[in-house]
Structure formats: structure tokens, C-alpha cells
Amino acid sequence: MIEVVKRSGEREFFSEDKVRRSLARSGVPKTTEEKIVKKLGKKLYSGITTEEIYRLVFTWLKQEKTLLASQYNLKQAIIDLGPTGYPFELFLARLLEAFGFQTATSQVLTGKCVDHEVDIIAKTGSFDYLAQSEKSACYLIECKFHGRPGIKVVLKTALYVWGRFYDLKETSLTVFDGPDYFTQGLLATNSRITSEAIKYCQCVGLAVLSWDYPQGRALPDLINKSRKHPLTCLPGLSAPDKQILLKEGLVFCQDLLADSGWHRLIGRKSKKILVQAKEMVSQE
């Protein structure tokens, strides 16, 4: 069995299924998937790092089709929403709207003990997609954004989020129509969360949304289900370009099709970016 080395230094056996799932999640056609898995099989050796596997697959996808590589590069695209956490909060809030939620960001609320600035309030009066429940729900969502891969959310963050929810659960909200009360707290992150933190969240009833949890409804699943990819995945945008567009409140590829005001901000390359955005949206 071939062992691979993770970012943390841990070793695990190579899983072809994991590679296939990541390719399928990125919309890679089956024929391309088979070709890449076959190529990868010839490059594997015991001790290969997960980063090297990723680089190989990414390079081969770029050779096949640039935007396939962009979709596969989703984790980095989410990191590129930084360096501050607010664009991620805006991205997540608008992503939840695609699932029928009303949302509001950066709301200052008075709790039983102290005031709190809540990252996202998300309300649904019908089907709660996050919990897969027909009940209405009002979420207090706290976001933990990491600008580097490999960092996990730890127990103390879960304790903090639960404490905030507990202090605000009896606060009457007037953000949407009529008075509301928080029914659920949620810890959201673009990274992974430690098993200890997940255990605590499950114990107290704090919901979690991370890169790989909950299974089937993790952050990449929501993005692919809604077909709302961040504009930071477009290969023609430089790092400064991304920051310019994010500061304008644009976060999705669809935003670039709906608003032409951004063209003047990045100059002549806007035509190329528009083509890429259209291609990404048409694939969705």
C-alpha cells in the first residue's frame, strides 16, 4: 500500500476514491477523470505528499481545460476571498440565499450580558436545508476564516461561538419581518474542524459547516449544489484584480454577468474575464 503524507505530517494510505470524488465534485467528465487517475497511478510513490498529488492533478486539468482546473482549485479560490474575513461572510450569506434563506451580515445585537457583532443571521420560514428539516429556523452564524491551508478550527472557537449563541438566544430580533429569536447557532469555516471541537458541537447542539462537514452538506457541496462559484476561481484575475472586485461587493461569477460597472476597474482584460465568467456559469 502506498502511503501519502498530509500537511499535518500524518501518514495515511492513498485513496483513489478520494481523488475521484474531488474530480467528480469539480465537474470533471468521466473520460478525463479516468485519464488523470491513470496518469497519477504512474507517479505515485510511498511518501508522496498530498500537496504534490494536488499539483499533479491541477496541472493535468489545466492541460485539459483551464476552467476545470479552476473548479478543482475551489479551496484556494475560497482562501483568495481573504485576507480579511468579511468577503467570506458575504459569500456565505449569499450562498445561503440560494437555499431559501433570508440573510443579514455584521449585525450588532444586545445579549443578556453584553453586546455582540454577529457575522451572519440566516432565517428560513419553510425548509431548512442546513438541517434537512421542514421546520422554520433562525441561525446565528459565526465565521472562522483561515487564509492559509491546513489550519483547523479548534475547541476554543466552538466554545466561543456557543457562548455567543447562549447569550443572544433570548434576544428579540427585528432584522427581518416581525420579531424573531435565534433557534440555532452555527460555526462556519472555510477550513476543517478538529474531532474534539466536533464532539463538543454535537454535545451542545451547535451546528457546524466546514470544508468537509457535515458529510454531503459541507461547504463545497453547497457551492456545487447551488452552482454559485466564487469569482476568485477565474484564472484570468490577478490577486489585485480579485481584491478590487471583492471590495465592490462582487463575489460570484454570476455577479460579473449582472453588473458591467466593474469593467472600468480592471481595464482591457475585462473582456477576457467576462468570457471566462460566462463559460463558468454556462458549465454550471
CATH code for position 131: 3.40.1350.10
> CA angle, corner 142, sides to 90 and 106, nearest 5?
50
Tell me the per-residue pLDDT of 159-182, one tens digit each, with 9 for 90 and over.
999 999 999 999 999 999 889 999
CA nearest neighbour of 147 among 254, 229, 232, 51: 232
Together in a domain, 68 and 101: no
Together in a domain, 149 and 250: no
pLDDT of residue 156: 98
Together in a domain, 175 and 60: no
Together in a domain, 140 and 164: yes
Is the backbone peptide bond immediately before 83 cis, with ω within 30 degrees of 0?
yes
Together in a domain, 122 and 174: yes
Per-residue confidence band for 283, with pLDDT thresholds at 50, 70 and 90: low
- Mean pLDDT computed over every residue of the chain: 93
Is residue 81 in a domain?
A: no
Range of the domain at 194: 86-226
pTM of the full predicted structure? 0.86
Is residue 80 in a domain?
A: no
pLDDT of residue 188: 98
| Number of domains forming the structure of the chain | 3
How many whole angstroms separate alpha carbon 208 and alpha carbon 82? 21
Is residue 207 in a domain?
A: yes
Together in a domain, 46 and 153: no
| Domain final residue, candidates 39, 72, 105 | 72
Together in a domain, 212 and 120: yes
Is residue 124 in a domain?
A: yes
Per-residue confidence band for 284, with pLDDT thresholds at 50, 70 and 90: low
As given in the structure block, the three cell numbers for residue 83 are 485576507
Together in a domain, 213 and 233: no
Together in a domain, 55 and 151: no
How many whole angstroms separate alpha carbon 175 and alpha carbon 107? 9
| Domain final residue, candidates 226, 251, 272 | 226
Is residue 55 in a domain?
A: yes
Q: Kindly tell me if the per-residue pLDDT of 68 is higher than 90.
A: no
